[in-house]
Amino acid sequence: MLNNVLSSAVVFDRASPFEVSQYVNQYVGHHRLHILDAERPSSSLHCRQYADIGLSRISYGSQVKVACPDLMGVYHFQIVTRGSCDWSFRNSEFRLHAGQALMMNPEEKIDLTYSADCEKLIVKVPEEVVKTVCLSQLGAVPKQGIKFETQVVELTHSQAFLSFISAIFHEASSAEDLDAGELCSAYRDLLIRKLLQTFPNNVRQQQESVAQDRLFQRMLGHVEANIKNELGVEELAAHCGVSVRTVYNLFAKHLSTTPRLYIKQMKFKSLQQALLTQPALRNVTEAALDYGFTHLGRFSSDYKQMFGELPSETLRRRRA
């Protein structure tokens, strides 16, 4: 699907890899090139600027090693369309084959080794553009900046994404005005959104965390609103439309406790406030039964363990 994109945007064809490398250093990303075999290679490069993003199709025609000290202020989406390419990061190594892709972050140091038949597509996106789109579409950017995980994504399982990437490249090849236009900006913004959706990153993690926080606050609100009722984990799960396991996980994450223990503690705190502030409460038994405590001996013992005094002593303090 992607092997013939940018066919009308030839920069080099059957050229020296060092000519290609010089151009790439200027327009795609800073690197150092080392040829690893003795044969005389024949390289090709197709490039086109589209709105604020750079689109490239590159093949060195030989086994080469590319050392990238860092990507200054840009992200690279790179997908192998033919052959294979080895990625070497500080703590990990990957071999990508046709149909597999990686996202590269600004300031990451990476070594790449191309097979002799390797061809790649590279999409270069300025860091500020990604940040702007993220702010406008999602409303927030992580404090440490937007970071994609070092994770290989199998795009052969994402035909919709591949079709969109193909459309971007073909649109860039045929567009008459490549520097302006609402259509170019719309394609660019949609591309960034799809990259954020397809490749694991801290923006998605932050969104999931915020969603979980809101879900947890909804649970706490339900407990508070129904504090006198018989509340269970299953009811909280049903109220929020999640599994029982999710309820336990959220309470463990946010409060380091179980939902049952939290509900019990909140009942005791609400009951204590009632004993201290509600003159209409005539005795402790009435208050305990009102909150669903039917085993009065155990109730008094647990109450004293939590507050350091018996509920009858709390009631006397209010009357005093």
Q: What is the reported pLDDT for 118?
A: 94
One domain, residues 23 and 88: yes
Average predicted confidence (pLDDT) for the chain:
86
One domain, residues 121 and 141: yes
Least confident range from 51-55, 168-172, 235-239: namely 168-172
Q: What is the reported pLDDT for 178?
A: 47
Task: Give the count of domains, the chain.
Answer: 2
At which of 200, 215, 245 does a domain end? Answer: 200
pLDDT digits 0-9 by tens, 283-302: 889 889 999 998 988 999 99
Residue with tokens 């589209």: 50
Residue 252 Cα to chain centre, angstroms = 22
**CA dihedral for 22, 24, 30, 32, sign (positive or negative):** negative
pLDDT digits 0-9 by tens, 77-87: 999 999 999 99
pLDDT digits 0-9 by tens, 161-218: 888 888 888 888 775 544 445 667 888 888 998 898 888 888 876 666 666 778 888 9
For position 131, which CATH number holds? 2.60.120.10
- Per DSSP (E only), the strands in the chain are 10-15, 32-35, 43-50, 53-59, 64-68, 74-82, 84-88, 93-97, 100-104, 110-114, 119-126, 153-154
Q: What b-and-e string marks burial along 4-16, b requiring 16 or more CB atoms within 10 Å of the CB? A: ebbeebebbeebb
Q: What is the mean predicted confidence (pLDDT) over 220-245? A: 92
d(CA 46, CA 172) in angstroms, rounded, equals: 12
Q: Which residues pair with 110 in a beta bridge?
A: 68
| pLDDT(20) > 50 | yes
CB 169 within 8 A of CB 188: no
At which of 174, 200, 226 does a domain end? Answer: 200
Q: What is the reported pLDDT for 156?
A: 82
Task: List the domain range (segments joined by +) for residue 170.
Answer: 10-200
One domain, residues 226 and 188: no
Which residue did the predictor score with more confidence, 279 or 75? 75
In a domain, 4, yes or no: no
One domain, residues 185 and 244: no
Residue 81 Cα to chain centre, angstroms = 25
One domain, residues 145 and 291: no
In a domain, 5, yes or no: no
One domain, residues 78 and 116: yes
One domain, residues 22 and 106: yes
The model scores a pTM over 0.85: no
One domain, residues 295 and 237: yes
Q: What is the reported pLDDT for 36?
A: 84
One domain, residues 163 and 90: yes
Query: Which among 87, 112, 82 has a CA at the least distance from the CA of 97?
Result: 82
Kindly state the percentage of the chain with pLDDT values over 70. 93
One domain, residues 127 and 190: yes
